[in-house]
Amino acid sequence: MRISIRNIALLLLCLGLCLLSGCSGGGTSGNGGAGSNLTSPGSTSNNSGTNTNGYVSGVVVDTDGVAVSGVTITAYHTNNNIGVTTTTNASGAYSFTRLYTGAWTDYQVYAEKSGFAFYPSPSGNTGGIIKADYNGLYRTVIHFSTIPTTPLTGANFIAYRAGEQIVSIPRTGQTISYVNGDDASANKGVVWPTTRFTDNKDGTVTDGLTGLVWMKNAGCFAPINWSAALTFANQLASGSCGLTDGSTAGQWRMPNVNELESLVDISRSNPALSAGNPFTNVANSYWSSSSYQASLGTSAMVIRFTDGPLCANNSETPATL
């Protein structure tokens, strides 16, 4: 994924192995699949909340800011796996009323219309953006963990037409084709630069594919648990770990899982990094700043650099190499 960066650097921390017996992707999960359900208007059942006076509204516009009408908006209540729908009007606006409020009111809201793709754009503190698994069909939704009695506005979406790109996906690095149509034969994705990584001679490395800046010494810190790792990352500054870049505390951070995974060269292993890369002391696995949606507060996402897979790791367990 192509990511721009301004005045902030990314930290490749040596902070732990994937401790689970297997690796798994993120996403919510619930009865029959993760997602959030809205209760049906007029429902008298109260087993998923305390009241039915919850209100959620938003607007759908295209990339030029023009309203998109006729978009089907679904509000899915994960506590009882029931969804209700409405459509946007000529102004691109929609609203849901009579939603459950109080305890057990976990909702997810998503948009659908033929010929469009949609990405949430909530304003203010209206919900969070997550990827949810609906029986193997993944949707990017606006997530409300609890519906309050006060109205929630600004649950907006941006509509993308065919050909409008959000990100540019780089090639994986596979060069040997084993069957027609596989990754190497299709040869899709942004072409890697001839020299992908540049050693900046100040303890940092710039990735020419994504523009991200990484710490050269990939083994500066000993394995540690996730919350402590986040703190160490934010405290890193020039003068430690071989850095002479003039950075100060707060300019470094732990990368999210997409940023960390962008380093992986799928054609290589031990480590799964491009040949000739300048990183030193590369460890087996590294924390990302992305929590694991199926177990919020207790697990985070890890990239295993022995062979490149994404794993879920218990964030409270100190990891050892």
Residue pair 45/104 in contact by the 8 Å Cβ criterion: no
Do residues 39 and 52 lie in contact, with contact meaning Cβ atoms separated by under 8 Å? yes
Given a cut of 50, whether residue 284 has pLDDT beyond it is yes
> Is the pLDDT assigned to residue 317 strictly greater than 70?
no
Residue 267 has pLDDT above 90, yes or no: no
Which pTM value belongs to this model?
A: 0.52
In order of 26, 181, 225, the CA distances from 207 in angstroms are 26, 29, 27
- pLDDT at 46 exceeding the cut of 60: no
| Terminal CA-CA length for the chain | 29
Burial 86-122 (b: 16+ CB within 10 A, else e): bebeeebebbbebbbbeebbbbbbbbebeebebebbb
Cα 287 from Cα 226, distance rounded (Å): 7
Query: 70-74, 100-104, 279-283 — which is least confidently predicted?
Result: 100-104
Q: At residue 90, does pLDDT exceed 70?
A: yes
The answer on pLDDT for 301 being more than 80 is: yes
Q: Are 310 and 301 in contact (CB under 8 A)?
A: yes
Instruction: Name the percent of the chain lying above pLDDT 70.
Output: 78
Q: What is the pLDDT of residue 310?
A: 67
Task: Kindly indicate the confidence band of residue 33, based on its pLDDT and cuts at 50, 70 and 90.
Answer: very low
Token pair recorded at residue 251: 């300019």
For the cut 80, the answer to whether the pLDDT of residue 148 exceeds it is yes
Which are the contacts of 158, defined by CB distance < 8 A and separation ≥ 6? 60, 61, 62, 63, 118, 119, 120, 121
**What is the pLDDT, as a whole number, of residue 294?**
54
The residue type at 293: Q
Q: Residue 165 — pLDDT band, cuts 50, 70, 90?
A: low
Tens digits of residue pLDDT in 205-225: 999 888 899 999 998 888 888
- Mean per-residue pLDDT for 185-190? 82
User: Looking at the domain covering 51-161, what would its CATH class be?
Assistant: mainly beta
Residue type at 101?
Answer: T
Question: In this model, does residue 173 exceed pLDDT 90?
Answer: no
In this prediction, residue 25 carries a pLDDT of 35
What is the C-alpha to C-alpha distance for residues 214 and 310, in angstroms, rounded to an integer? 19
Residue 21, pLDDT > 60, answer no
Residue 154 has a pLDDT of 94
Residue with tokens 């050909």: 163
In this prediction, residues 62-70 reach a mean pLDDT of: 95
Q: Is residue 2 predicted with pLDDT exceeding 50?
A: no
Q: What mean pLDDT, rounded, does the chain reach? A: 78
Q: With pLDDT > 90 as the criterion, what percentage of the chain qualifies? A: 38
pLDDT reported for residue 10: 42
89 torsion bin: left (phi>0), alpha (psi -120 to 50), beta (else): beta
The predicted structure's pLDDT at residue 259: 87
Contact criterion met (CB below 8 Å) for 280 and 219: yes
DSSP character for 120? E
pLDDT for position 293:
57
* Helix ranges (DSSP H) in the chain: 183-186, 226-235, 257-261
* Domain regions of the chain by residue span: 51-161
Confidence of residue 291 (pLDDT cuts 50, 70, 90): confident
pLDDT > 70? residue 4: no
pLDDT for position 191: 82
Q: Which residue has the higher pLDDT, 46 or 110?
A: 110
pLDDT at 19 over 80: no
